[in-house]
Chains A and B, each alone.
Chain A
Amino acid sequence: MDLPITRPSMICYADEIEFSEFLKDLSAKKHNGFIRITSGSDEGFILFKKGKEIAASYDRNSRVDAIDKIKDAMDDNGTILEIFDVRPSQIDFFMNMNKPYLIDSEAYDLINEIKRSKEVNNLEPELEPKAVPKPKPVSDAIRRSETIDEVEPVRVDEVEPVRVDEVEPVRVDEVEPVKSVTVEEKPISKPVLDSVSTSVNDSVDSKDLTEAELVKSEPETVSVKEDVYQINDSETVNEPLNETKPVNEPVVESVPLPKNLEPEFNEPSETVSSTDIPVNENLNSTVKTNEPNRNESDLVEELEEVEMPQMDRSKLMQKYGIKEIQEKDVDDILESYKGGSVSDDDVEKIELTLMNKIKKSILAMSKVQGVEVMVFLDNTNGLSGKANIIIESESKGFLSRLMGDSSNVNLERKIKDISQIEIRKSFRKYPEIIDKFEVNVEIS
């Protein structure tokens, strides 16, 4: 589908969410925008209008087929899911652009089935409801921690009152002059709104928020702080409460920074006015530190540090929802490449097994009294091999000897056939190895 790819408002992996719940959530929130599903080199989209799915594509599929493929793709843990927000006024335009993908009643049936699937699962008494981790918005990604659920109850109780009490006077003092400088209720740039709206109140429409509202409204500013502490619980739990937060810690990123201070954007924003910086300095200082008296030079130093951040790879990856590849996954991929790799130890085992199998088969022949089998495998350039078989056949009568060796020829052919059958059985899935196997028979 033709859709504008901008910065996603949320990124997560398929295994981090329950797809049915996710769709329901978007419906409930009356989401305007689209989601992108990336699985391997395949890409799919579902366009939403006021929370309703209106168009879908996946790879070369559209409508119900696309929904079906997307459903399958969501079963793959490596699938990435991104949410993109679009202005309601744009949705009709995208609908027109993507007419071939507009979904029909058949697709809605499938969507409803997907949405119901979770409910059906929940009805089963033996199954415990699976905890669905909340998808992480991009701006919140860095705050996410595996230990949040465990730590939160202890932390919030202990930390919250202390932090709020200590910080509040500083914020109010610093905020006051800003109110007079900002003068007008100027809408905050979108990244700021994203992080504020998610931390303050999910239900607040970010577009309606203004700087002045944030600054003036005391209950809201307090809740910002609370949320910041909750979000960073895993990091703060082991730290002294009054310790100053380093600039490049997640706390800074969770706090709305002006565009020109955001670590990911090095270029200064053209739209930043002189009033922007004090506002955000205030916000920074209230969260980053509990020290009541901070002089200007400290703030300048801090700002310099923010402008030239040392990027932390793990935090950056967490922020964008990129997973580190595990050693096991790499081995699995390479295993498939080799078609079942064979190590030198394996080669010895295969030689021994094959030797015994061939020997056993040949000994079952009536004319064979004894047999020695030697199997040599070569693993340097693909697996190839050689089997040398020495046969001791039963002694022939005088007449047979006079008549010649035709029986030996037959025996040799039979032994070769038997050996090759064993080799074929052992390497059934790898015909290229069978082709490279040489069998030599010597009869005494």
Chain B
Amino acid sequence: MTRVITVASGKGGVGKTTIAANLGVALATYGEETIVLDADVAMANLELILGMEGKSVTLHDVLSGAAPIEDAIYEGPGGVKVVPAGISLEGLRKIKMDRLESALEVLVENTDILLIDAPAGLEKDALAAIAAAQEMILVTTPEVPSISDALKTKIIANKLGVDIIGVVINREQHDKTFLTITEIETILEVPVIAVIPDDPEVSRAAAFGEPLIIKNPKSPTSNAIMQLGADLIGEEYQPIEPDKKGVISKLVEGLLGRR
């Protein structure tokens, strides 16, 4: 049976899209037939993160009734399938979120996992993305406003009968100025299932339009997301250790042409 999982947060800018994109790629690398759908129709970023902008048919077209959902599915990095939202404002004007439900019905027919990147906030589009799923991953940063919004989202999701798999703490900085994992778990009453460290590599990968777990699989962030993917489907994951060779040995190897 297809698992429909929404990645939501409440507050914007906490890293939902980055996590949804990379998690989708991670699940695809484990052999799961995975579709990532960008339900953030107003502020679509998924296609930019995955380097898939400029597609002819997008979710905008589907939600405006101009195209079937099948035409908006594209093959992305690592074998993940992607439904981009479309970034044109013109397309946004014509959409009807009510059509999302029937589009999802088609998507779940041919996939193992459908990941929905939900918009921020609790407007109609965000609620539609949450209500469409059976399960939800709550993304938050360890800051008070982010956690406050995550709490609202969690309560709404519970009310809509969505199971919360857990909380992903993004941009964790080992800094005592932020809330601890235990505090976040206590406030949200949901277990923390992954802690993604603050990593400048994430922005760099996004600038290249490449998912981090492909661009830099050894980074702590990649390892954390791969581990999260493994946990979701009950797989084992062995973290990829960063290269510990010294600069000089790398240089020597490079000069000798071993790299």
Contacts and interface: CB of A to CB of B under 8 A. Distances in A.
Nearest to B145: A38
Contacts of A41: 10-13, 120-121, 149
Contacts of B11: 38, 41
Nearest to B131: A337
Contacts of B183: 264, 311, 316, 320
Contact of B144 (A320, A337, A339): A320
A7 B177 contact: yes
Contacts of B96: 432
B98 A432 contact: yes
Interface residues of B, number: 35
A313 B180 contact: no
A246 interface: no
A320 B187 contact: yes
Contact of A334 (B127, B149, B178): B127
Interface string A311-339: 10100110011110100001001101101
A322 B182 contact: no
Interface residues of A, number: 34
B116 interface: no
B89 interface: no
Given A264-B179, A316-B183, A322 B127 contact: no
Of the listed residues A313, A317, A322, A334, the one surrounded by the most CB atoms of chain B closer than 10 A to its CB is: A322
Given A264-B179, A382-B98, A325 B187 contact: no
A7 B179 CA distance: 9
Interface in B121-162: 121-122, 124, 127-128, 131, 143-145, 147-149, 151-152, 155-156, 159-160
Contact of A316 (B10, B177, B187): B187
B148 A323 contact: yes
B148 A265 contact: no
Contacts of B231: none
A316 B144 contact: no
Given A41-B13, A317-B187, A322-B187, A265 B151 contact: no
Nearest to A317: B187
Contact of A11 (B144, B151, B176, B189): B144
B180 A321 contact: no
A72 to B, nearest CB: 17
Contacts of A316: 183, 186-187
Given A313-B186, A330-B156, A322 B147 contact: yes
Interface of B: 10-13, 96, 98, 120-122, 124, 127-128, 131, 143-145, 147-149, 151-152, 155-156, 159-160, 176-180, 182-183, 186-187, 189
11 contacts: A5-B143, A5-B177, A7-B178, A38-B11, A41-B120, A41-B149, A259-B176, A313-B186, A333-B156, A334-B127, A337-B127
- Per CB-CB distance, the 8 closest pairs between chain A and chain B, nearest first, are A41-B12, A337-B127, A38-B145, A7-B177, A41-B120, A311-B186, A6-B177, A322-B148
